[in-house]
Structure 1
Amino acid sequence: MRIGGRLAGAIEVLEDVETRRRPIANALKDWGTAHRFAGSGDRAAIGNIVYDALRLKLSHAWMMDSDAPSALAHAVFFRQWGFTPETLAAKLEGDKFAPAPLAQETLQAFANRDLADAPDYIRGDLPEWILPAFQENFGEGWLSEAEALNRRPPLDLRVNTLKATPEKVKKALSRAGAEFAKIAPDGLRITPGEGADRLPNVTAELAFQKGWFEVQDEGSQIVAALACAESGQQVLDYCAGGGGKTLALSAFMENAGQIHAYDADRTRLAPIIERLRRAGTRNVQVHDAASGLEGMEGRFDRVLIDAPCTGTGTWRRRPDIKWRLSEKNLEERTAQQAEVLDSACGYVKPGGLISYVTCSLLPSENQNQIERFLEHNNQFEIVSLQEVWSGQFPSAGTSPHFSAAGFATLTPAKTGTDGFFSALLRRKS
């Protein structure tokens, strides 16, 4: 496909996402099924246009004076892919598969507008009601934090040290351009490309099939390490989901001790069995019902709570959820988080630790949630993660945002990772 066909395909997908409020991945899959003539490079390029368009949806629409899918897709080329309206028009000339040209008034708006004149929430490409939360969390640095969430993410991998070393996996993935991560000691990173460039399909590599590595954002690796699980301990991963952090904990513990991976959502939990088998773990028990944890109250050295959240820290990878998020969604999530915290805390033994984690950057899901919990649970106290950090990551070239209370917030701008919040609480003896 030439560039015109790719642009037209992206417009179709954007229309599908908008009108049917569908996840990007589903819309792209259906488009590919209906257009089997499109090669893998074409589908990747169309996906890049769609994701780039939705990351900057508000500012694209403001600059073009239109939020129509065609305007958003063209804005990707003008603002992110290095084209001018003139150079793109020259590329599309004579291409029978190219979309209809933009209206003259749309091109005029783009030529005359300056994003610096836009309202703050548009400059940051944030839902307007979210802006105060970002300003509360990051103060004067809120805009740089928001902007970093609107860039393409890298592909991060966690080396499974039960089977391989970072050096061994880096060599195996040399064709993919894998480099050592800057913070996570077992992490590798493949930087994102530009324009139509696509990231490699690393799960097709033999090294993946052998269980040498998992795809996992570096931030997720870091917050798993901040749970401070040690070899031989009893650990509960209370909201285990697909098992990414469970696998990391098992490697940190060198397959010794015991991990209980629990999630009430069987659909989310389902992939964990195959992942555990491939990784070669021997110290994990999986539970899909709370009844499996009966009799274990007060027995765990560590309880990791990867709480259900709005996912605001993952907007680089899932920009469509940014525009579907509502205040009602946030209220539902905070209620679930309070319930999970109150349920899981009883499993911690005296002197043991709760690691509370979200992939959110909203205070109501993070520091406010911990403050609420401590008001009703005075047998717990905060452990400063600023003190833990240097012990866990002595060679790190950067660090998260640390609050006065000792909570840690990782962000694309500060740590180059997805956004994560982490708090560590000790049950008093």
Structure 2
Amino acid sequence: MTPAARIAAAIDLLAVLEEQCFAPAARRRPADAVASDFFRARRFIGGGDRRAVSELAWGVVRQRLRLDWHLARLGVAPTARLLLLARLLLGRGVDDHGRGRQAAEAAFDGSHYGPAVLDAAERRVAAALDGRPLIDPAMPEGARLNLPDWVLPKLSARFGASLAAEAAALEEEAPLDLRANLLRAERDTTATLLAGEGLEVVPTPFSPWGLRLPSRRPVTGTKAYKDGLVEVQDEGSQLIALLADARPGMRVADYCAGAAGKTLAMAATMGNRGKITACDTSAPRLEGAARRLRRAGVDNAERHLLAPGDRWAKRRAGSFDRVLVDAPCTGTGTWRRNPDARLRTRPEDLAELVAVQDDILGRASELVRPGGRLVYATCSLLPEENEEQMERFLARRPGFAPIPLGGLWESLRPGTAAPCAGPWMTLSPGAQGTDGFFCAVLERRP
């Protein structure tokens, strides 16, 4: 594809994303799913061109709040063409051979596969934006920090003077973290095997199983991955599995298992002994989990589809040593990986999710045996889904008591520093270099 054809394809992709992800009446599908469908319908776009088109479109998505501000300041609506034009002009060149208005206008060349030539109104926008910084001193705080207005006071209350640094960290490219599967090989052995395939990794600072690549690299085609030696998993997610402290011989429930990333990690700490049940409300997710479990060599796990009227939980009340609730949440802690989520997520979503979390916690807690533990986790940075959720639960359920992080960490990783202070584990890109996570461990009193 020519550079102009790539820009035309990026404009088409942005239009589809707007319709399906971001518009008020949109289905608000995840952008990666929409992009996957977009490219599947255009198989003539090769791998290198797909990456280039995706980079153009995602550059707009990542900076959409700021681009909207610039266009609103000029009194124009944010069309896909104008958004991409603005992104090219505000701090990003079309290619290595030129920057600025002349190069951006030249990209809209009117060729057979390229975008139509800029009209007079679009040229006026280009002239007004040419040479301006992407982050303008006149911007309100939300646009300047690239945070939606509704979430700004919540994150400000959590991070205080560190808000700007945390917001900047949420914009950085996330590293690629892997978890060494101890059912197959030790971490050092896996690192050596990856190095032999051209992937130089370093140990993660907190997880005893983690290996980190400084930038995203293709891993799923490696022999180490195909043989089940590694799984892609952010270090923060690994630490939640660590805090669950699932041991050999235990009965464990992963109540919101999804594709079973934490199920896999806990099965490894159990040494394939005992029984772990991966539960979810989605059959496709559990089917994907089955493939991962087989590849990892996990044979102490079963899957259970949670459905309305299901009596599975009632029959197993009070029978699990560990119950992990990796609750559905706003996902604000993953915005550096999922930049579209900061545009898709709305205030009403938070209220709905808090109610869902509350309901799930109540049901899952009934599964915990006396003396057993309930582990609650989210990938959210918002207090309503984390600390406040725990406060509400403990007020209603006096039979549960929190296990402070400090003592729990010392028992699991003696002689090492915990990733944070406080009673709960709270992680963020700026402070720990992980995605944003929250984890609370509660014990059911005998």
- In the TM superposition, what are the counterparts of 1:371-382 in structure 2 within 5 Å? 371-382=391-402
For residues 20-419 of structure 1, the aligned pairs below 5 Å read: 20-21=20-21, 22-63=29-70, 65=73, 67-77=78-88, 81=92, 84-85=99-100, 88-89=103-104, 92=107, 96=111, 97-99=113-115, 100=117, 103-109=123-129, 111-112=131-132, 115-174=136-195, 175-192=198-215, 199-289=216-306, 290-393=310-413, 399-400=419-420, 402-403=421-422, 406-419=423-436
- Structure 1 position 141, deviation (Å): 1.5
User: Distance in 2 between the 1:419 and 1:302 partners?
Assistant: 23
Contact 1:398 1:414 in 2 (8 A): no
Q: Please, what is the CA RMSD of the aligned residues?
A: 2.6
Which of 303-312 and 200-209 deviates more?
Answer: 200-209
Distance apart, 1:207 and its partner CA: 2.0
Normalising by structure 2, what TM-score? 0.86
Once residues 294 and 438 of structure 2 are traced to their aligned partners in structure 1, the CA distance between those partners, rounded to angstroms, is: 29
CA distance in 1, matches of 2:102, 2:320: 62
Q: 1:395 to 1:154 in 2, by over 3 A?
A: farther
Q: Distance in 2 between matches of 1:393 and 1:50?
A: 43
23-32 vs 271-280, greater mean Cα deviation: 23-32
Q: Secondary structure at the match of 1:270?
A: helix
Letter in 2 for 1:363: P
Aligned residue pair count? 420
TM-score scaled by length of structure 1:
0.89
Residue by residue, what CA displacement relative to the aligned partner does 1:56-89 show, whole Å, maximum 9, x if unpaired? Answer: 2112332455633334334544556567416844
Q: Alpha carbons of 1:107 and 1:304: their partners in 2 closer, same or farther (altered >3 Å)?
A: farther
Matched-pair contact (CA < 8 Å) for 1:63–1:110: no
Q: Residue 425 of structure 1 aligns to a residue in which SS?
A: strand
1:356-378 CA distance string (max 9 Å, x none): 00111111111111111111111
Partners of 2:10 and 2:407 lie apart in 1 by 47
Conserved in 2, the CA contact under 8 Å of 1:386 and 1:408?
Answer: no
* Rounded Cα–Cα distance in structure 2 between residues aligned with 1:34 and 1:294: 45
CA contact (8 A) 1:17 1:23 kept: no
1:271 is displaced (CA, Å) by: 1.2
Q: Which secondary structure does the structure 2 equivalent of 1:424 belong to?
A: strand
The superposition leaves residues 32-59 of structure 1 with CA deviations (integer Å, 9 ceiling, x where unpaired) of: 2344332211101221222232122112
Deviation digits for residues 117-141 of structure 1 (CA, Å, limit 9, x no counterpart): 2111111222211111111221221
Q: How far 1:311 moved relative to its partner?
A: 1.4
* Alpha-carbon spacing, 1:284–1:112, altered in 2? closer, same or farther (3 Å): closer
Partner of 1:14: 14
Tell me whether 259-268 or 369-378 shows the greater mean CA deviation: 259-268
For residue 231 of structure 1, what is the amino acid of its counterpart? P
Q: Distance in 1 between matches of 2:268 and 2:127?
A: 54
Task: Specify whether residues 336 and 34 from structure 1 end up closer, same or farther in structure 2 by C-alpha distance, changes over 3 A only.
Answer: closer
Letter in structure 2 aligned against 1:296: R
Flag the 1:253–1:35 CA change in 2: closer, same or farther, 3 A. Answer: same
The 3 A distance-change label for structure 1 pair 70 and 151 is: farther
**Alignment partners' CA distance in 2, 1:255 and 1:409:** 29
Distance 1:17 1:165, change over 3 A: same
* Structure with greater proportional helix content: 1
Identify if the C-alpha distance between structure 1 residues 232 and 91 changes in structure 2 by more than 3 Å, giving closer, same or farther.
farther
Tell me by how many angstroms 1:337 deviates. Answer: 0.6
Gaps of 5+ in 2: 22-28
> Identity over the aligned pairs, expressed in percent?
38
